[in-house]
Chains A and B, each alone.
Chain A
Amino acid sequence: MEITVKDVEYLAEAAKFEFTEDEKQKFAQALSDVINAVDVLAQTDTQGVQPTIYVISVKNVFREDEVLPSMDRDILLKNAADVQDGCYRVPKVVE
């Protein structure tokens, strides 16, 4: 399986990256190498086998519906690059 530059452009758009033409070539090659290496999976007989997402049986873990202290807004906002009036500031989203 070969990953093309066009595939890389599609993946970059989905994952929100920007690449130069050289980078696209480089990533296409690197991705092809890995995809070929993992293709051994596709050749494995898994008929009738159920997938395992989590290795331990996942059940809902309930707790009492109590109000617990939340983190302080000012402390949380300290890590943000752009803040105004206690909110995150972002570029205009809606025209």
Chain B
Amino acid sequence: MELYKLTVHEAVDLINKKEVTYQQIVQSALQQIHEVDKDVKAFITLTDERALEDSRQLDAVKADEEGLSVLAGIPFGVEDNICTQGVRTTCASKMLDNFVPPYSATAFSRIARQRGVLMGKLNTDEFSMGLTTETSYFHETRNPWDLNRIAGGASAGAAAAVAADEVFYALATDTGGSLRRAAAFCGVVGLKPTYGMVSRYGVISSGSSMDQVGPIAKNVKDCALVFQAIAGSDKADPMTATARVADYVGALADDIKGLRIGLLRECFDKGIDKDVKEAVLNAAKTLEGLGAHVEEISLPSVELAPAAHCVILSAEVSSNLGRYDGIKYGYRVERCQDLDDLYKKTRTQGFGDEVKLRVMLGTYALSAGNYERYYLQALKVRTIIKAELEKAFEKFDAVVLPTCSTTAWKFGDKVDSALAMFLADKYTAPASIAGVPAITIPCGFDVNGLPIGMQLMGKPFSEATLLRIAFTFEQNTDYHIKRPAIDWR
């Protein structure tokens, strides 16, 4: 049996029935990684020996009939901007090439405490800045559906590894749509939680007012299961103080009768691929057919979200990346004249061009004379967007929109730049700017057979409702079952 193809729930069933061992599950996933990752290149660091040892220990415990959590023994991966104690965490940058964190991110610790089995660290764009992993210091991650195409960015490694059945699920981060875009491009499920639902402790800071950790999974049920494990307040991240956790797995009813769903008109007017438009509109019809009340909605201010997001993110990045000085950790240039020279040479050699551009953009937006025009103005526009969404959520339980305007493009087709990122973020930036939750689920395929993602946004802390809508859609469609052919082996 090809165990690596199972979902978390299916694997747990087999383990409980004693039909398979933890070692068999982990070995199967490792075999798949060895088979496909030379082409997909989802991983930066493999922790295969540790994974095998973990599974051996779990089998020994299970023999003693000790109760284990549902995520115990299930192979997973972690985007390489989430700290894992003792396991190299690079942020896909030369700057952190040799960084071994002395502590773990809370989201990772919570899975580790349930004895999930870490398979390794997954590729991303350098400091999560990019759309394609072309800015990664290490390599590009390729889309399992078509190796000539991008798998998204920044969370491409996470999404591609799940889509290629290398891991059962992954933890990734989302600051402006990274997690959702990659999940959509790879035909898997991705959830960006409400800001403050998942601790940012141990997540290498990018845009601190928007950074969130979320799951990428093969289906909605697995997504809910992983989210349940990582959500909730954490003393180490004061932003999580007001987090309200619900029973997400219990919320997965195949029933959306009477729910009110808004269809975001602005997304379907211009600049969207025909196939994407058709698939998402069809998906909205499916939701209507399942008993939801679907109605068009207009939110004019969301058009401003990418610009506001770009400025806020750059400003926060320029501040957060000030810590890379070559002294406490990370890359350090060998020869320098004085301290200032050490800083300059270290940062010039340690960071790639995209990171430098972002940092300078943020420095510009925060500098005297520009602060009001750019940064302060972006924060005011954020207020307008947030208010408009709040008003929409008085009337609607969720808003439907595409996750991306296109499907995955070929490497080299678009230049990876802050400007391209700005345009690609147009459907994902609103949820990040307003801090509301959003989920992407597969809802169709384009003419080239590439997956299309539908996005559902909800009000703060409405993850249970979003998961329920996504689950109902999934139960009544089969887009999530189709996997990449992987016939290029």
Expressed in whole angstroms, the Cα–Cα distance for A76 and B329 within the complex equals 9
Expressed in whole angstroms, the Cα–Cα distance for A63 and B356 within the complex equals 38
B100 part of interface (Cβ distance < 8 Å): yes
For residue A67, which residues in chain B have a CB less than 8 angstroms away from its CB?
A: none
Q: How far is the CB of B349 from chain A (nearest CB, A)?
A: 9
Report B's interface with A, CB cutoff 8 A. Answer: 98-100, 102-103, 195-196, 209, 235, 238-239, 241-242, 304, 307-308, 310-311, 318, 326-332, 336-345, 347-348, 351, 356-357, 359-361, 363-364, 367, 373-374, 376-384, 386, 417-419, 422, 433-435, 460
Are B342 and A91 in contact, with the CB atoms below 8 A? yes
Are A71 and B102 in contact, with the CB atoms below 8 A? yes
**Total of A-B residue pairs, C-beta within 8 Å:** 164
Are B195 and A56 in contact, with the CB atoms below 8 A? yes
Q: Which of B235, B328, B382, B433 contacts A79 (CB 8 A)?
A: B328
For residue B435, which residues in chain A have a CB less than 8 angstroms away from its CB?
A: 55-56
**Main secondary structure on B side of the interface with A:** helix
Q: Which of A17, A40, A51, A79 contacts B356 (CB 8 A)?
A: A17
Q: Which of B102, B196, B373, B380 contacts A50 (CB 8 A)?
A: B380
Report A's interface with B, CB cutoff 8 A. Answer: 3, 7-8, 11-12, 14-19, 27, 30-31, 33-35, 37-38, 40-42, 44, 46, 49-59, 61, 63, 71-72, 75-76, 78-82, 88, 90-93
Known A-B contacts A18-B344, A53-B379; the reply to A11 vs B360 at CB < 8 A is yes
Known A-B contacts A41-B377, A42-B373, A52-B386; the reply to A79 vs B359 at CB < 8 A is no
Are B310 and A79 in contact, with the CB atoms below 8 A? no
Expressed in whole angstroms, the Cα–Cα distance for A19 and B99 within the complex equals 26
Apart from the given pairs A81-B327, A91-B338, A91-B339, 12 other A-B contacts in the complex at a CB distance below 8 Å: A11-B364, A17-B344, A17-B359, A18-B344, A34-B418, A38-B311, A42-B374, A46-B384, A55-B434, A79-B329, A91-B336, A93-B339
Q: How far is the CB of A49 from chain B (nearest CB, A)?
A: 4
Q: Which of A16, A34, A59, A93 contacts B344 (CB 8 A)?
A: A16
Are B103 and A71 in contact, with the CB atoms below 8 A? yes
CB-defined A-B contacts under 8 Å, sample of 17: A8-B360, A12-B360, A15-B347, A15-B363, A17-B359, A18-B344, A27-B357, A38-B310, A40-B307, A44-B377, A46-B380, A51-B376, A55-B386, A58-B239, A79-B98, A80-B329, A92-B338
Are A81 and B326 in contact, with the CB atoms below 8 A? yes
Known A-B contacts A37-B310, A53-B209; the reply to A42 vs B377 at CB < 8 A is yes
For residue A14, which residues in chain B have a CB less than 8 angstroms away from its CB?
A: 363, 367
Expressed in whole angstroms, the Cα–Cα distance for A17 and B400 within the complex equals 43
Expressed in whole angstroms, the Cα–Cα distance for A16 and B344 within the complex equals 5
Are B356 and A61 in contact, with the CB atoms below 8 A? no
Expressed in whole angstroms, the Cα–Cα distance for A58 and B195 within the complex equals 12
Known A-B contacts A38-B374, A71-B103, A88-B327; the reply to A56 vs B363 at CB < 8 A is no
